[in-house]
Amino acid sequence: MKYLRLLALLMIAAAVTGCASGIRYTEFQPKMPGPSQDMGRIFLYRPSALGAALRPDVMLNNEKIGEAIAHGFFYVDRKPGEYQVVTSTEVERKLSFVLDKGQTRYVRFSVSFGFFVGHVYGELVEPDVAMKEIEDCKYTGTP
């Protein structure tokens, strides 16, 4: 019984420390500058706390652009072209897409169960779905 309490406390601590802290999207969005006319924007977010202790690096075309943090979001502006988002825990997960000039893409990170640890993977989401899911997420990017 004593061990179960300790395990429960450790799981709660991991969940709390694994979640994002920062300004909520609904507060951040009005202050956010728009992308330049020749660029596109990619939002990356993780709306769930499932597997909160997992915080894999997010790579965009082999460049680290952030971490997939539970209840967190960030964005990058990039030139039009082909992009690949990669996250890895015990396996590497890849998502490929094309970004057009002036386009905004939304990549949602979800967690699936793995053999030893969970897998964090990205999927493209339609803007209307993403806007509902991202509004309670907190900004984890660099100011």
User: Which residue, chain included where needed, has tokens 């997960």?
Assistant: 93
Dump pLDDT digits (tens) for 36-85.
889 999 999 999 988 888 899 999 999 999 999 999 999 999 999 999 99
Average pLDDT over residues 95-119: 91
User: Which residue, chain included where needed, has tokens 């030139």?
Assistant: 79
Walk across the sheet containing 63-67 and list its strands: 63-67, 57-60, 81-88, 92-99
For 143, residues 6+ apart whose C-beta sits below 8 A from its C-beta are: none
CATH topology of domain 2-139: Immunoglobulin-like (2.60.40)
Separation CA 5–CA 46 (nearest Å): 29
Whether residue 135 has pLDDT greater than 70: yes
Q: What pLDDT is attached to residue 143? A: 63
Please state the domain extents for the chain: 2-139
